[in-house]
Structure 1
Amino acid sequence: MNFQKGKKIYFASDNHLGAPSSEASLPREKKFVAWLDHIKQDAAAIFLLGDLFDFWMEYRKVIPKGFTRTLGKLAEISDSGIPIFYFVGNHDLWMNGYFEEELNIPVYHKPQEFTFNNTRFFIGHGDGLGPGDKGYKRMKKVFTNPVCKWLFKRLIHPDFGMRLGHYLSVKNKMISGDDDAKFLGEENEWLVQYSKRKLEEKHHDYFVFGHRHLPLDIDLGNNARYINLGDWISHYTYGVFDGDNFELKEY
C-alpha cells in the first residue's frame, strides 16, 4: 500500500467498550469516536488491533446490543473510502462476518504483514504469541474450536450467552490476559521476544501489537522496532505512521 504525502496510517487497540458496564464505558466510547472523527481528515488507512469490545459474540442473527456510536462512525469512515482493518483480540475472538458484511471491514484472526511506502510492518493483536502464557493458549484452543463455538451458540440462548460471556470477560483474568499491565523488562516481555524471533526469520521495520495495555516503543536492533499501542482505558494512546516515521501519541 502506497499513500500520498500528507496522509497517515493510524493504529489503535484495546478499547474494551462495555467494561465494566455500558454506562461506565460510554465516556470512553465518545472519546474514541471523537478521535475517529479527528483522524479521518488525513487517514490513508486505520488499523484496529483488537479488543475494541470487552466481549463480542456473533450468533447467526444476533450481535451484542450497544456500541451504536462506534459502529456508525466506522461505517461512515469505511463508506467514505478510507480502508479500515480489524484484528481480533482475546475478547472478540468470535467475530464471524458482521464487520465484513455490514461495515466492509476485513477481519484478521492472525498477525499479518503489510508494506506501506516500502516500510515493512508485522501487525497483530498479540495474545498467545511468544513464550509462556500456556494457560491462556490452552483456553484459546477451546474458545476457537469450531465444535465448541457451535455448541455454545446452539445450546445457550443469546440473552444468557451474552451475559455469561461479559461476566467471564471481566472476571476471569486467564481470559482477559490484561491483569499485569506493567513493564516486565525486555527479557520478560513475551511480545518483544516473539518479535526478535520473527526478525531473525525476516526483516520488518515495525512490529505493532496491542494486548499489553502499555504504550511501548522498543529498539529491537537491525533497524527494527517493537511498538505496543497501549489502550483506551488508562492511556488513550495510538500509533501514527506518516510514511517516514512512526510515533506513539496520546489523544
Structure 2
Amino acid sequence: MVVQGADLGDGPVLFISDLHLCSAQPALTALFRHFCWHEGRAARAVFILGDLFDYWVHRDQAAETPYTEILALLHGLHKQGTTVYLMVGNRDFALEADFLAQFGIIALPDPALLQLGDQRILLTHGDLLCSDDHRYQRFRRVIRHPLTRLTLGRLPYAWLQRIARGLRRGSSREVRTKAPAITDANPQTIVAALHGEGAFTLDGATYDILIHGHTHRPVWEQGPEGRRMVLGAWGADGAQIGRWENGQWSLQLLSPP
C-alpha cells in the first residue's frame, strides 16, 4: 500500500506506537485522551504503527472500558478532519479493517509506503526487524496464519481473553530472559528494509527513511543506508512520538497532562 497526500493541508503529520492501552493502565488512557484533544486535533494525519491496545482479540471489546472511549476519540479525530491510519502490532493484530472503518480509521498493511514530498518512508510495526528472535518469528508466522485466525475466530470471547492473558504472561517471561540484542532490530535487517528487500519489498525501490516501533528503544538516527526513527512506548513519563512538519522531522516527548 502506498499512502500519498498526507503532506497536503495544514498541521503536522504524527507517528505513534506501542501505547498498550488497557483497563489496567488508566493513566495511559488519560495520556492518549490528552494527545487526541491537543496534538491529534492539530495534526493533518496520525499514523498508529501497532499495539494501540495491550491486546485485542475480538470486536466485542469495543463495548468495554476503556476501548469504547479510545475508539470514540479516534472517530472524533476523523470527524474533525484528521486522517487516522492504523497498522496492527503483535498485540492487536486481530483488529480488522472493516471494524476500524466504522470509526473512520484507515487500516495499513505491514509494511506500508508513505510518500511525503519527495521522501519515501517505510512504515512497519517493527517486529519483523527483530530477525534474531527466531522463536518469536516462528510464533508470529503460526498465530497470523489464516487457518489459525479462522480457528481462533470461532472461539467464544471469554476463551479468547484467557488465551490472550496466557500469551501475554508467557511473552513477558521470555522477554526478561532474552538478551537485549535478541529483542532489538537486527542491523542487517534494517539495511535490507531500507533497500526494500525481502518482507519489505513493495515496489522494487529503496526508501529514504524507516519508521517503526515495537522495540521500545526510541531513536532518530542517520545510518549509511538512510535514516531511522524508532518510536517510544507509552508510559508514566509520557512517550516519544514522531513528527513531520514543513519538511522537518523530529522525535519529541509527549508529556503527561
- TM-score (ref. length: structure 2): 0.82
SS of 2:85's partner is strand
Question: 8 Å contact 1:181–1:212 — kept in the other structure?
Answer: no
Q: CA deviation at 1:137?
A: 1.2
Match of 1:215 among 215, 218, 228: 218
Deviations 1:27-62 (A, max 9, x none): 111111101211134311000011111110136xx3
Q: Specify the alignment match of 1:164 in structure 2.
A: 163
Stretch deviating more after TM superposition (228-237 or 93-102): 93-102
Query: Aligned in 2, Cα 1:38/1:118: closer, same or farther, shift over 3 Å?
Result: same
The aligned residue for residue 8 of structure 1 is 12
CA contact (8 A) 1:99 1:107 kept: no
Contact 1:124–1:209 under 8 Å retained in 2: yes
Give the superposition deviation at 1:183: 7.0
Q: CA deviation at 1:239?
A: 0.7
Identify the residue that residue 188 of structure 2 maps to in structure 1: 193
Residue 131 of structure 1 and its aligned partner are, at CA, apart by 2.9
Could you tell me how far apart the structure 1 residues matched to 2:16 and 2:102 are?
21
Which whole-Å CA distance do the structure 2 matches of 1:133 and 1:147 have between them? 23
Distance 1:119 1:130, change over 3 A: same
CA separation of 1:194/1:72 partners in 2, compared to 1, >3 Å: closer, same or farther? same
SS at match of 2:14: strand
- Whole-angstrom CA distance in 2 between matches of 1:79 and 1:249: 26
The verdict on how the C-alpha distance between 1:151 and 1:131 changes in structure 2, with shifts beyond 3 A counting, is closer
> What is the CA distance between 1:118 and its match in structure 2?
1.9
The percent identity for this pair of structures is 23
Instruction: Using the TM superposition, give the Cα deviation of residue 69 of structure 1 relative to its aligned residue in structure 2, in angstroms.
Output: 2.2
After the TM superposition, which of the residue ranges 188-197 and 130-139 deviates more from structure 2?
A: 188-197
Q: Match of 1:14, as an amino acid?
A: D
Per-residue displacement from partner, 1:126-153 (whole Å, max 9, x unpaired)? 1133531111111112111222222223
Q: Is the 8 A contact 2:240 2:251 kept in 1?
A: yes
* Structure 1 SS opposite 2:120: strand
Structure 2: unaligned runs, 5 residues or longer: 197-204
Aligned residue in 1 for 2:21: 17
* Alignment partners' CA distance in 1, 2:134 and 2:216: 20
Aligned residues: 239
Residues 1:123 and 2:123 are matched in the alignment? yes
